[in-house]
Amino acid sequence: MLIQLSATAGAAASGVLASRIGTVRTLIITIVVWILALLGIIVFSDIFAFYVLSVCAGLMLGATQAAARSYMAIEAPEGRKAEFFGFMTFSAKIAAIFGPLLYGAISSRTGNPRIAVLSLEALFILGLFFMLLVPRKV
């Protein structure tokens, strides 16, 4: 419940931020915060940190999804928006399969879920790399 409520706030906040600095910059910020939150999961283990990181994850979940959809709506060519959104949805489904599979495989092999979080960290870093290559309108 905590994550869902904070995701709503994150989605609204990302709209405000994107209108000020642009959707690509907003997406880059959300990815950087995701990377920091995952590092927090690896480093911290107390209950207070768990709740703080849960709120952070919720905020970024809502912000990332809202900003990504906004970016797709802006950049997808007219007449092909449904195709682009369909590909985006398909990609999300693939990620929803392979992310947990990767996490589970690494966690199972190492016996350490914190090491498995590093695999997710690598995926976010890869995503950040690609987002930094996206041209930004000034």
Q: What is the mean pLDDT of residues 1-28?
A: 93
Domain segments of the chain as ranges: 2-133
CA distance 37 to 55: 10
- Residues 86-97, mean pLDDT to the nearest whole number: 94
Name the nearest CA neighbour of 56 among 124, 9, 23: 9
pTM of the model: 0.88
The answer as to CATH 1.20.1250.20 being correct for domain 2-133 is yes
The three-state secondary structure class of 112 is coil
Instruction: Please state, in angstroms and rounded to a whole number, the distance separating the CA atoms of residues 118 and 102.
Output: 10
Sorting pLDDT into bands at 50, 70 and 90, what band is 1?
A: confident
Residue 86 structure tokens: 């369909």
26-83 per-position pLDDT tens digit: 999 999 999 999 999 889 989 999 899 999 999 999 999 999 999 999 989 999 999 9
